[in-house]
């Protein structure tokens, strides 16, 4: 497993975001990204249930990270994200998150993601179309200012 970089202020992975989730991601070097995390009750919608928007944000992050498996500086952005909520996702519970590459060709890609409950039940799934970030954004990109690095 390869540890992926984090940034400073990303809501999902940021290390300095006071309201962030502080998630850590790993990849298998080929086609999958993984994370395990307990989501605080601070991010609930219904009592004890992770807000659907927070679930979507996590899936957006982990699915988008499949493009970084071979190159941690290959940033892509969501073009389309479809989320299906199958079972409630409890707060304060160890959860597993998976992003899987389906296809990466040229400047476009397709990938899928899952949130799994402790017993392996598929709680939430997503399908995403990704595109390389526009050239003008890459030109302005400052990885040092972003804080983009692998934690020790």
Q: What is the pLDDT of residues 61-119, one digit of tens each?
A: 999 999 999 998 888 999 999 999 999 999 999 999 999 999 999 899 999 999 999 99
Q: Where are the alpha helices (DSSP H) in 5-149?
A: 52-64, 135-140, 143-146
Among 7-16, 100-109, 138-147, where is mean pLDDT lowest? 138-147
Query: What CATH number did the domain enclosing 57 receive?
Result: 3.10.129.10
- Residue 119 token pair: 């017993």
Mean pLDDT computed over 12-41: 97
CB contact at 8 A, 19 and 11? yes
Specify the residue for token string 């807000």: 51
Which residue range(s) make up the domain with 59?
Answer: 2-143
> Angle at Cα 5 formed by Cα 39 and Cα 2, nearest 5°?
90
- Residue 148, domain member (yes or no): no
- Residue 136, domain member (yes or no): yes
- Residue 46, domain member (yes or no): yes
- Residue 99, domain member (yes or no): yes
Number of domain units in the chain: 1
């Amino acid at each position: 497993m390869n540890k992926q970089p984090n940034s400073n202020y990303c809501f999902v992975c940021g290390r300095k975001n006071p309201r962030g989730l502080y998630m850590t991601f790993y990849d298998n070097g080929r086609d999958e990204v993984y994370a395990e995390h307990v989501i605080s009750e601070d991010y609930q919608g219904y009592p004890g249930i992770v807000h659907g928007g927070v679930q979507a944000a996590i899936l957006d992050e982990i699915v988008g990270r499949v493009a970084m498996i071979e190159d941690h500086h290959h940033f892509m952005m969501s073009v389309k994200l479809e989320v299906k909520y199958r079972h409630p996702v409890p707060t304060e519970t160890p959860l597993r998150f998976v992003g899987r590459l389906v296809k990466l060709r040229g400047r476009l890609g397709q990938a899928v993601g899952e949130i799994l409950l402790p017993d392996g039940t598929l709680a939430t799934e997503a399908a995403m179309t990704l595109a390389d970030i526009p050239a003008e954004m890459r030109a302005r990109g400052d990885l040092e200012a972003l804080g983009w690095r692998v934690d020790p």
